A and B are shown apart, each in its own frame.
Chain A
Amino acid sequence: MPSSQTPSIAGTAIDPTALRPPLDDAEIVRIAPSDLYAKLEALRAEGFSMLLDIGGVDYLGREPRFDVVYHLLALPTVAATVAEIGKPRRLRLLVGVPAEETVLPSAISLWPSADWAEREIYDLFGITFTGHPDLRRIQLPYDWVGHPLRKDYPLRGPGREATPRPPFALKSNVPAGTPPSGKVAAALQKQIARARGQDVPAETDGEKK
């Protein structure tokens, strides 16, 4: 059941990443899951020494359903000054993962930092990584059911979504139609006068806090 707050996505085949030229400094590469490990290995050898982050996106209704996004950065691995580093290369690797087979090879043998990143994707999206030595939930309790960052996971959780939210009731003890009075009206009139460029009467002592 989709969340009541999330607007439905127009159309089925959405891929925002392909619609515009790149907006940031990263070079963007799209790749199939079967070629992922070889590509990561080649990039690691090419000098992309840092795996900055792995993120996931659920394009519900698209085929393939998920995108797993690897952000890479080419930093030197020895002490270097600002001038030596210059503007390091960034690369973004997009991997489409179909809903039927949510399995990817783990990058942990290339970058040890992939450990927690992959566990988080597993936890929140339900995508598993083969070759990960310790794939278990990281943010949520171990007995949690479901993967909350999937778009078909309701915002307030499956249990609470069944009961409707109480409607917001605006309660006021002022009957409708009563003209504004008191400090609020005075402040509003003063604001209007100031905006019109008129002289605003000086505040009396009683009005001051």
Chain B
Amino acid sequence: MKAIDAPGPSPAPLPELPSMDVVAREGNTMTLSMGPQHPSTHGVLQVVVEVAGEIVEKAEMEIGYLHTGIEKSAENLFWTQAGTVIERMDYLNPLGNAMCYVLATERLLGITDRIPERAQDIRILMCELSRIASHCVWLGTGGIDLGAISTFFYSFDVREDILDLIEVSGGARMHPNYLRIGGVNGDLPAGFMEKLDALIVKFPQRMRELRTLLQNNPILRDRMIDVGVIPAAQAVEWNVTGPALRGSGIAYDVRKAFPYGGYERYAFDVPTRTEGDAYARFLVRLDEMDESMRIVTQVRKALDRPGPVMIDDPKVAQPPKETIALSMEALIHHFKMVSESFRVPPGDVYQAIESPRGELAYYLVSNGNNRPYRVRTRPPSLYNLQALKAMAPGNLIADVVVMIGSLDPVFGEVDR
């Protein structure tokens, strides 16, 4: 038996390798496939990258692994039922999806001006809480991509509090179908305000901790600064919206440009950066969480005033539950609403909202029936993700993960 410490033959000197530039110049590229089962793609995404050494030359993406035909399903449901499948598109921001669909339907019905103020306030509250919860997931998973595991626990703690609030108001943590055409499904329950107040007190402290952990962390800065740069002009032509566009300097926010659902009553700023890299998008999202909490705090004051939370219109609203046991008319009304729903006048409408990922919009067409004729989503994740094709070339392959994380795509929405 050969002794372990016996000196082996001395290794031959390594041949001098050409530098990375030379490899690239000779067209010596390699095609790699990342995903579709890859932890850092935040879902099921396949990225086929052509690399020269470690430098990405071309990135092509394969999507559709999560296609569930939600648009087709929605065409076969009543206007009231379609909201349930639509909430499943962007599963990190279900209430935002519902908000957009409900606003679009209300425009078709012509009842936009008659929605009670309290219902509008509750909707805004839910949308902004969802935005914070969605950014918490982005922060947690984006941190894991970069090796910062502990961020996940800090941010999911905040998200858990918000999901608790959504659960007590709507009955479910993720897809409560709480926002309805004409208002919201029932007023906020007893105990909600105490929980919300506790969150409002706790949140700034949590944000300070998260910022201390991340914002000036040298590893994170090294990984994100000058990575995935997309200049303003390129971002616009690649149809990038939301925090990614504002990270490139264009302060386009649908809540400011086309105010909807009562946002004009609340004061908030639109955080913007001009660098256009992953770090700029990271800072914009962090600032946005603070701005969302600013809106939540204002809405909290407005919610002290009681009022109706559903439109006073029996053509759209279901009768109150208590009356069904007493009144035959209410029972018939309820039966008609559940079994036939209501008809929506023919027409088409494009309604956009600012989702955590960008301009989310529904293009709805009604032919006068009790089911939508066409439900077209403008998915912000799809177009933001597409811009990776413009962003990735010239970067390191390890940074592709950072770029996907900084665009924050949700594949329920990309594939629908």
Chain B min CB distance to A161 (Å): 12
Binds B, one of A34-42, A51-59, A170-178, A200-208: A51-59
Distance in Å from the Cβ of B349 to the closest Cβ of chain A? Answer: 5
Q: Is the CB of B237 within 8 A of A192?
A: no
A88 at the interface (CB under 8 A from B): yes
CB proximity to B under 8 Å, residues A102-131: 111-113, 115-117
Contact of B250 (CB < 8 Å), options: A10, A24, A85: A85
Contacts of A77 in B (CB 8 A): 232-233, 236-237
Bound-complex Cα distance A7 to B343 (A):
13
Main SS of chain A's interface residues? Answer: loop
Answer whether residue B408 sits at the interface, using C-beta atoms and an 8 A cutoff. Answer: no
A26 contacts the other chain (CB 8 A): yes
When chains A and B are docked, how far (Å) is the Cα of A76 from the Cα of B251? Answer: 10
Instruction: Mark each residue of chain B from 248 to 281: 1 if its CB lies under 8 Å from any CB of chain A, else 0.
Output: 1111110011100000000000101010000000
Q: How far is the CA of A140 from the CA of B240 in the complex (A)?
A: 24
Q: Are B252 and A85 in contact (CB under 8 A)?
A: yes
CA of A75 to CA of B76 in the docked complex: distance in angstroms? 36
Known: A113-B386, A140-B67. A57 touches B365 (CB 8 A): yes
A16 pairs with B348, CB closer than 8 A? yes
Q: Is the CB of B415 within 8 A of A20?
A: no
Q: Is A87 an interface residue (CB 8 A)?
A: yes
The residue of chain B having its C-beta at the shortest distance from the C-beta of A110 within the complex is B237
| In the complex, A82 has a CB within 8 A of chain B | yes
Question: Does B49 sit at the interface, judged by CB under 8 A?
Answer: no
Size category of the A interface is 35 or more
Complex Cα–Cα for A93 and B238 (A): 19
B300 contacts A by Cβ under 8 Å: no
Contact B237 A69, beta carbon cutoff 8 Å: no
| Bound-state Cα–Cα, A87 to B72, Å | 33
A55–B347 Cα distance when bound, in Å, is 16
B72–A148 CB distance below 8 A: yes
B63 contacts A195, C-beta separation under 8 Å? no
A120's nearest neighbour on chain B, judged by CB, is B382
Mark contacts of B222-240 with chain A using CB atoms, 8 A cut-off: 1 yes-contact digit, 0 otherwise: 0000000000110011110
Among candidates A76, A78, A117, A139, residue contacting B415 with C-beta atoms closer than 8 Å: A139
Q: Decide: A88 and B252 in contact? CB cutoff 8 A.
A: yes
Most buried by A among B257, B326, B349, B386: B257
Within 8 A of B (CB), among A56-94: 56-58, 69, 71, 75-82, 84-88, 90, 92
**B326 near A196: Cβ-Cβ < 8 Å:** yes
Residue A32, interface by CB 8 Å: no
What are the interface flags for A157-200 relative to B under an 8 Å C-beta threshold, 1 for contact and 0 otherwise? 00000000000000000000000000000001001101110000
Q: Which residue of A lies closest to B112 (CB)?
A: A23
Q: Which of B348-378 touch A at CB < 8 Å?
A: 348-351, 359, 361, 363, 365-371, 373-374, 376, 378
A24 contacts B252, C-beta separation under 8 Å: no
Which residues of the other chain, B, contact A51 by a CB distance below 8 angstroms?
239
CB of A50 within 8 Å of the partner chain:
yes
Q: Would A25 and B258 be within 8 Å (CB), given that A52-B359, A57-B374, A80-B249 are in contact?
A: yes
Q: Please give 5 more A-B residue pairs, beta carbons under 8 A apart, in addition to A5-B76, A138-B64.
A: A23-B349, A78-B233, A80-B251, A82-B251, A85-B252
Question: Which 8 pairs from chain A and chain B are nearest by CB?
Answer: A79-B249, A113-B239, A55-B376, A16-B346, A139-B64, A53-B378, A77-B233, A20-B347
Interface residues of A (CB under 8 A from B): 3, 5-7, 9-10, 14, 16-17, 19-20, 23-26, 49-53, 55-58, 69, 71, 75-82, 84-88, 90, 92, 111-113, 115-117, 137-141, 148-149, 155, 188, 191-192, 194-196
